[in-house]
Amino acid sequence: MAMRFFAIQRPLLAAVAGFSRPSIANNAAPLGVHLANALIEGRRNASVKAQGAYRKKSKRGIPNKLGAKRTGDQFVIPGNILYKQRGTHWWPGENCIMGRDHTIHSMATGYVKYYRDPAKHPDRKYIGVVFNKEDTLPYPLHAERKRRLNKTVHPIRAEVAKPEVSPSGIPFEVTRVEAGEPDRLLRLRSDYSYREDNWRIGRLVKTTGLKTKRFRTRKQWFRHRRWRREREIAGQKEAEKRRAESGGAGKVVKAISKKAAKKAAKNASKKAK
């Protein structure tokens, strides 16, 4: 079947080839002309983007990126950019710094001020930051120095005295007194029950005489125990060495506690029985 199928296709292929010959002959001349022109002009390889990206200038040269970024009396925080420039058109003043590219940054939280200071320089223009919006720069020559503590002055409000008894006649606070224990202050709650504050309950641990753990984890305890044993063994070896050098004879009995001595005597009495 395959051989018969190829035999049928041969006349069709011949007919198609016959029809296509005139078109190839007609297009041969223009193709030759194009090849000749390509040899004369040279081949162009698209090694650069053709969308116009190479026409854009660098960011350092774009003028709309420069200028003031914060206006006068505007609130800023440390690190904010106040002015971008090429060269020193403006200079850093109060609470401001200048970067490597002459960009002026804020050093404190406050409000921006543009000003001149003839005492420093007759021609320079400065940018500064003040803590209070109504302040003006430059400060007077012998004025009090402004401290950069990020704090403002606020009047201390006097605490309103709370009544000791509620309108229904129930006291807000009750003191519990017990022999041998510190006094405990109980406060009235929303459900009309008296209860001690949580932070006061936490402090009761100090009154129990309990000893907290010296080490936070078991790993720390094991490490300390091993270090202590090594110290004891090293001390014993050093003591034996000193006794040998001094000419001492016999083994020195190790000092033990009263509890250990009592336990040893008890064991000895059991063995004797």
3-state class of 165 per DSSP?
Answer: strand
Locate 220 and state its tokens. Answer: 């720390």
Residues 142, 102 contacting (CB under 8 angstroms): no
104-106: strand order across its sheet:
67-68, 81-84, 104-106, 96-98
Collapsed DSSP state (helix, strand, coil) of residue 92: strand
Listed residues 78, 107, 130: the one ending a domain:
130
In a domain, 232, yes or no: no
Residue 46 inside a domain? The answer is: no
Q: What is the CATH number of the domain that holds 111?
A: 2.40.50.100
Domain membership of residue 185 (yes or no) is: yes
Residue 273 is given by DSSP the state -
DSSP string spanning 21-81?
HHHHHHHHHHHHHHHHHHHHH------S-SSSGGGSPPGGG-GGG-EESS-TT-EE-TT-E
Structure tokens at 260: 């250990």
Query: Looking at residue 150, what DSSP letter applies?
Result: S
Q: Is residue 152 part of a domain?
A: no
Residue 78: is it exposed, middle or buried by C-beta count within 10 angstroms (0-12/13-18/19+)? Answer: middle
Into how many domains does the chain fold?
2
- 80 within domain boundaries: yes
Please identify which residue in the block is written with the tokens 């008296």.
194
The angle subtended at Cα 184 by Cα 179 and Cα 189, nearest 5°, is 140
Beta strands in 122-183 (DSSP E): 125-130, 173-176
Model pLDDT, residue 68: 93
> Does residue 117 contact residue 93 with C-beta atoms inside 8 Å?
yes
| CB contact at 8 A, 121 and 90 | no
Cα–Cα distance between 125 and 272 in angstroms, integer? Answer: 103
194: containing domain: 173-207
| Domain finish residue from 71, 98, 130 | 130
Residue 192 lies in a domain: yes
Phi, psi of 66 (to 5 degrees): -95, 170
How many Cβ atoms sit within 10 Å of the Cβ of residue 93?
22
Residue 24 has what pLDDT?
46
Would you say residue 233 lies in a domain?
no
How far is it, in rounded angstroms, from Cα 258 to Cα 211?
A: 23
Q: What is the pTM of this model?
A: 0.38
Q: Pick the last residue of a domain from 79, 112, 130.
A: 130
> Tens-digit pLDDT profile for the chain (273 aa)?
445 545 555 655 666 565 555 544 455 455 565 656 655 666 666 565 565 565 666 655 556 689 999 999 999 999 999 999 999 999 999 999 999 999 999 999 999 999 999 999 999 999 999 998 999 999 998 888 777 676 767 889 998 888 889 888 899 999 999 888 888 999 999 898 999 999 999 888 888 777 777 888 999 999 999 999 999 999 999 999 988 888 765 556 666 778 888 899 999 888 887
Question: Is residue 86 assigned to a domain?
Answer: yes
Phi and psi at residue 99, to the nearest 5°: -85, -175
Instruction: Give the three-state DSSP class for 101.
Output: coil
Q: Which residues contact 99 (CB under 8 A, 6 or more apart)?
A: 105
**H helix runs in the chain, sequence order:** 2-41, 198-203, 218-246, 258-272
Among 101, 104, 124, smallest CA distance to 112 is for: 104
Q: What is the pLDDT of residue 25?
A: 46
